Structure formats: structure tokens, C-alpha cells
């Protein structure tokens, strides 16, 4: 059973460009979470999605950031018009339906390291 | 607001000793608490979960305690090994309706010297 997959692992964008980060959850998992980790800071929750639904986006910046988890395909975190402050590691995690929202652990991907030049 | 605090200073110990890491939280009554391990350049890996009605949980060389009165969890690694060197994160669920959203502490870096 493959783990959570994220791609690309490293992404370099110039200021003003768009960044698209992809996450494929573990097989059988229908709940996806995105977190951001800035240098020397802890993991910060961004958004929680189920298939075709955003459940909690309280950690998402109001502008330029969006996330989706379509019926088919990976979850996408999209950052428009990137700025240097967006440089960070972005982690995706997934959990199975029976545990989501209760007490289940989350399984993390390897992360995408975004660098904005 | 809800807050989680872990000792930001790195913990250096000798191989074979017991490492003890602390996680304190405020303004919060979580139903459970989780511990993760994170190695440089990698995503966190789940280690243990302890519920509010459990005082202690063990898994191999790991032991977690949960004191809801003190609002504190202790994470112990017995007979530590250099391979245990990593950053350890505690995490608590938050969000209305038990959405599965986690808030993480900043982590404590453990260095085990041979």
C-alpha cells in the first residue's frame, strides 16, 4: 500500500507565478489535510477536504490560496501570484473515513518544498 | 486562544538513557493527544495517540502520559539510540465538530549521542 504521495517534491517559482501542489492520499483514504511549515516554525493547518467538499478552511489565507479534492484525481493546493513569503514546505496528510474527525492518526506525505525567487 | 508549547531547546542525551519530552497546552480540553516524529526533509510520522481518559500508553520503548489536570503530556523514550535522533511533535485536535484538524507544537529536537 503506497503512502501519501506529493509532487513535485521541489518547486521553484518566480514572484507572480502560480504554484500547483498535488497530493494523492493513501488508498482507501478520503480525507485530506494540507499543512504549511515555515522555516524554524511548526506545522500550521491550512485546509481539510473530503471528496468534492471543503470541510474546514480556517487556516487558509483569504487571498491567492485555494484547494480542491475532486472526485477523481489528486488533491490540489493552488497558490496564485506567489510572493517570497509563500516559500515553505507544504505537507499533505490523509486519514481513512472511519477515523476522520474522531481519533485517528494522519499519514503525511514527504512534502513539497516551494521556493519563490 | 488554544496554545501548545514544547521545549524549543534541543535535548541532548547519551545513548542508553531515557529521553523525556514535554508538551503543555492551554485554553483547551482535547479528547486526545498525538505524538509524531519528523526527520529533516521528511513528513511527520505518527507514533502514539493517548485519549483523555487514559493516563499512560506504551509502545515498545515509547511511553506517553497525559495529565488533563496539569494540561500536560510527557513523551519518554527508554534505552535511547542514535537512530532516535529527530524532532518530536505533539498534536491536538481542534476545530468545531471534531473535524480532524490538528494543531501542532513547534517540536523538540532530540539528539542521542553514542
Q: DSSP H helical segments within B1-100, as ranges?
A: none
Q: Which of B34, B43, B107 sits opposite A91 (nearest CB)?
A: B43
Is residue A77 a contact partner of residue A91, using CB atoms and an 8 Å limit? no
Q: Which of A42, A102, A106 sits opposite B106 (nearest CB)?
A: A42
Nearest-Cα distance to chain A for B8, in Å, is 10
pLDDT at B7: 85
Interface contact A33-B101, CB threshold 8 A: yes
User: Which of residues A63 and A2 earns the better pLDDT score?
Assistant: A63
Which cell goes with B37?
A: 516524529
pLDDT tens per residue across span A104-114: 789 999 999 99
pLDDT at A88: 96
Q: Which long-range contacts (CB under 8 A, 24 or more apart) does B82-87 make?
A: B82/B15, B82/B112, B82/B113, B82/B114, B83/B112, B84/B19, B84/B110, B84/B112, B85/B110, B85/B111, B85/B112, B86/B37, B86/B38, B86/B39, B86/B110, B87/B37, B87/B38, B87/B39
Nearest-Cα distance to chain B for A105, in Å, is 6
Question: In chain A, pLDDT over 70 holds for what percent of residues?
Answer: 94
Dihedral (Cα; A113, A49, B33, B2), 10-degree rounding: 90
User: Which of residues A45 and A101 earns the better pLDDT score?
Assistant: A45
Residue B5: is it exposed, middle or buried by C-beta count within 10 angstroms (0-12/13-18/19+)? Answer: middle
Confidence of residue B97 (pLDDT cuts 50, 70, 90): low
Residues of B in contact with A33 (CB under 8 A): 100-102
Size of interface A-B (CB pairs under 8 A): 65
Nearest CA in chain A to B44: A108
pLDDT at A7: 97
The verdict on B100 touching A (C-beta cutoff 8 Å) is yes
Interface contact A42-B100, CB threshold 8 A: no
Amino acid at each position: 500500500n503506497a503512502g501519501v504521495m506529493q509532487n513535485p517534491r521541489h518547486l521553484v517559482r518566480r514572484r507572480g507565478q502560480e504554484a500547483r501542489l498535488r497530493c494523492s492520499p493513501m488508498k482507501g483514504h478520503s480525507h485530506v489535510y494540507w499543512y504549511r511549515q515555515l522555516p524554524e516554525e511548526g506545522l500550521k493547518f491550512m485546509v481539510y477536504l473530503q471528496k468534492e467538499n471543503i470541510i474546514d478552511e480556517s487556516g487558509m489565507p483569504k487571498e491567492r490560496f485555494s484547494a480542491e479534492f475532486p472526485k477523481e484525481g489528486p488533491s490540489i493546493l493552488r497558490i496564485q501570484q506567489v510572493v517570497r513569503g509563500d516559500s515553505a514546505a507544504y505537507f499533505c496528510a490523509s486519514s481513512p473515513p472511519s477515523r476522520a474527525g474522531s481519533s485517528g492518526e494522519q499519514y503525511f506525505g514527504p512534502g513539497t518544498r516551494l521556493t519563490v525567487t | 486562544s488554544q496554545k501548545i508549547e514544547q521545549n524549543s531547546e534541543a535535548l541532548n542525551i547519551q545513548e542508553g538513557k531515557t529521553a523525556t519530552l514535554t508538551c503543555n497546552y492551554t485554553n483547551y480540553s482535547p479528547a486526545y493527544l498525538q505524538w509524531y516524529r519528523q526527520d529533516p526533509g521528511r513528513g511527520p510520522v505518527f507514533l502514539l495517540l493517548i485519549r483523555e481518559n487514559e493516563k499512560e500508553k506504551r509502545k515498545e520503548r515509547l511511553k506517553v502520559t497525559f495529565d488533563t489536570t496539569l494540561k500536560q503530556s510527557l513523551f519518554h523514550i527508554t534505552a535511547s539510540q542514535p537512530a532516535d535522533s529527530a524532532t518530536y511533535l505533539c498534536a491536538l485536535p481542534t476545530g468545531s465538530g471534531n473535524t480532524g484538524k490538528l494543531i501542532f507544537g513547534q517540536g523538540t529536537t532530540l539528539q542521542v549521542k553514542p
